[in-house]
């Protein structure tokens, strides 16, 4: 079963790592015809619902080959339009002989392109080409040793008894005509298969996960030996390609960018500044809920270094008035969102000239998870503020130059564009700002206390060289007071929680094992330097069941 299904004791995964199934097979359709940058060698990944589909895409890109996740419903004609170098079928939770199981256009196998099937993808390929798939007597989940029979192409440079990660209940029991076995285990005779003539490959395990130590080598062998990729895709090329596309799209019109100071909006602003110069107008809304000195950092970076037309709107009084007495987190978010749109509208009206476009820092996972796929078929997993909503209300056309990139690629793009490290590598910050880190009602006094606590926390995390090794670190002001002793007097002051997490994708996270001496220093500094705080606690809960933010 997939991780989520195992924890809740439900669902059955036969084809590999993936979303749990309830009452039949389910899978996530993704955008089918999102075109790569012109001239970019691309590998398509047909996602059959695997939780690790994005990981496959990232592994391919790490090898210098651009990748796109697409729906299994993509047609052979649409694939021809994209002109990829090869295709990968992901794993998934379904069984190929289960009613409603996801499948693909059989004409894909006649395109003359190399294909790699992973877990469910291998089973589906075998099933469609005339092989046989059955429910196995011995279900494999976890690490296994494969015996490699053929060390050419896919397993070039791989150990004879390589460790791999299995996650399947079904398996291939008879291969299609033209296929041969190139690796097996004691319970899985067809752990890896190959049709040399057509460059079709299938593996029952997951080469994309870190539990398969040489999985990256196997994927690289597929990309370079089977697909003939050069591995030449790099971020500097992306910059030039996107700048050209942006200039062609916007012409002489102006583009507005809502600048928050976060990584995504900062990088998209820097990219647009390079592409269209003074046609870009950035709007930074100071909502009174920012981190300490955040406004100064944004102004210095974009107004002075990038010479951007930056409009700063101080609406802190309006935002804090809206939040008076509000304690419910969703209501905080709702009020902040509505006020932001009102403030942004007014700021946009004051910009002279032909303003047609709004730029957003939408990323590829946002597009996928928000369900904005081909013909509206994608499942809506969660709503992202960068995907839909604002452009419709403002009447602008949308420019999203980073919508095909992952977060780590956006950071690399920021470095290529010359953004300072404190912006490129800064930790995520919630859209509602400190409003969801002050638990309970919001006041200026509470926000000031939290800013000082957060400043001290981050100073010590940076000083201990832990900032880049942790994914997110922040302070939370709790609505809890406790008795303390300072000097000879009794205190009754606030409690601050420290939250630090490690994560790959922010979908799951574990609490960071920060050394005790660093925690002690942080606690001592906060209590001694921030008036109104006499107790510091450390949050050691993981996600799930907790979330990363407290609200």
Active-site residues, by number, are: 119, 206, 208
Distance of CA 489 to the CA centre of its chain: 49
Query: Are 93 and 18 spatial neighbours (Cβ–Cβ below 8 Å)?
Result: yes
State the sign of the Cα–Cα–Cα–Cα dihedral 220, 223, 226, 229. Answer: negative
In 346-428, which ranges are E strands?
Answer: 355-359, 397-399
Please report where in the chains the tokens 């015996």 appear, as a residue: 147
- What residues have CB less than 8 Å from 152, skipping those under 6 apart? none
Query: Are 65 and 84 spatial neighbours (Cβ–Cβ below 8 Å)?
Result: no
**In three state form, how does the secondary structure of 108-177 look?**
HHHCCCCEEEECHHHHHHHHHCCCEEEEEEEEEEEEEEEEECCCCHHHCCCCCEEEEEEEEEEEEEECCC
**C-alpha span between 129 and 496 (Å, rounded):** 61
Token duo for residue 143 = 């690490």
Query: Three-class SS of residue 337?
Result: helix
Edge-to-edge order in the sheet of strand 254-258:
309-314, 280-286, 254-258, 355-359, 397-399
């Amino acid at each position: 079963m997939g991780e989520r299904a195992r924890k809740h004791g439900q669902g059955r995964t036969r084809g590999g790592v993936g979303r749990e199934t309830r009452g039949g097979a389910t899978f996530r359709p993704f955008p089918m015809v999102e075109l790569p940058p012109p001239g970019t060698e691309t590998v398509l990944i047909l996602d059959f619902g695997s939780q690790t589909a994005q990981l496959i895409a990232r592994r391919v890109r790490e090898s210098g080959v651009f990748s796109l996740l697409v729906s299994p419903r993509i047609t052979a004609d649409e694939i021809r339009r994209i002109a990829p170098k090869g295709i990968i079928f992901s794993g998934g939770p379904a069984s190929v002989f289960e009613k409603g199981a996801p499948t693909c256009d059989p004409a894909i196998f006649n395109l003359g392109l190399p294909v790699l099937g992973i877990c469910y993808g291998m089973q589906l390929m075998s099933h469609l080409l005339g092989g046989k798939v059955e429910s196995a007597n011995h279900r494999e989940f976890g690490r296994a040793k494969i015996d490699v029979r053929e060390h050419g192409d896919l397993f070039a440079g791989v150990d004879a008894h390589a460790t791999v990660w299995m996650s399947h209940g079904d398996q291939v029991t008879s291969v299609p005509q033209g296929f041969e076995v190139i690796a097996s285990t004691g319970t899985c005779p067809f752990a890896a298969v190959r049709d040399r003539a057509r460059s079709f490959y299938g593996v029952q395990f997951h080469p994309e996960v870190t539990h398969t130590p040489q999985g990256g080598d196997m994927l690289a062998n597929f990309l370079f030996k089977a697909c003939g990729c050069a591995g030449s895709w790099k971020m500097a090329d992306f910059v030039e390609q996107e700048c050209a596309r942006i200039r062609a799209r916007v012409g002489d019109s102006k583009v507005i960018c809502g600048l928050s100071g976060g990584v995504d909006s900062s990088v998209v602003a820097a990219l647009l500044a390079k592409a269209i110069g003074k046609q870009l107008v950035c709007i930074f809304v100071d909502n009174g809920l920012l981190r300490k000195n955040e406004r100064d950092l944004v102004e210095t970076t974009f107004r002075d270094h990038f010479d951007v037309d930056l409009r700063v709107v101080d609406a802190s009084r309006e935002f804090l008035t809206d939040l008076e007495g509000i304690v419910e987190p969703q209501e905080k978010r709702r009020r902040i969102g509505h006020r932001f749109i009102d403030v942004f509208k007014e700021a946009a009206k004051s910009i002279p000239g032909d303003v047609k476009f709004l730029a957003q820092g939408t990323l590829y996972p946002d597009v996928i998870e928000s369900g904005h796929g081909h013909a509206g078929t994608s499942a809506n997993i969660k709503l992202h503020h960068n995907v839909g909503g604002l452009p419709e209300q403002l009447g602008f056309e949308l420019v999203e130059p980073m919508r095909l990139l992952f977060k780590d690629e956006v950071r690399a793009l920021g470095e290529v564009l010359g953004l300072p490290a404190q912006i490129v590598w800064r930790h995520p910050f919630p859209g509602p700002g400190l409003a969801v880190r002050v638990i309970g009602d919001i006041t200026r006094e509470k926000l000031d206390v939290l800013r000082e606590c957060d400043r001290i926390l981050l100073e010590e995390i940076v000083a201990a060289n832990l900032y880049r090794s942790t994914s997110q670190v922040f302070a939370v002001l709790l609505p809890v007071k406790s008795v303390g002793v300072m000097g000879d007097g009794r205190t009754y002051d606030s409690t601050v929680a420290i939250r630090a997490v490690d994560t790959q994708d922010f979908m799951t996270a574990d609490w960071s094992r920060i050394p005790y001496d660093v925690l002690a220093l942080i606690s001592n500094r906060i209590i001694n330097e921030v008036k109104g705080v006499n107790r510091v606690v450390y949050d050691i809960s993981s996600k799930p069941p907790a979330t990363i933010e407290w609200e």
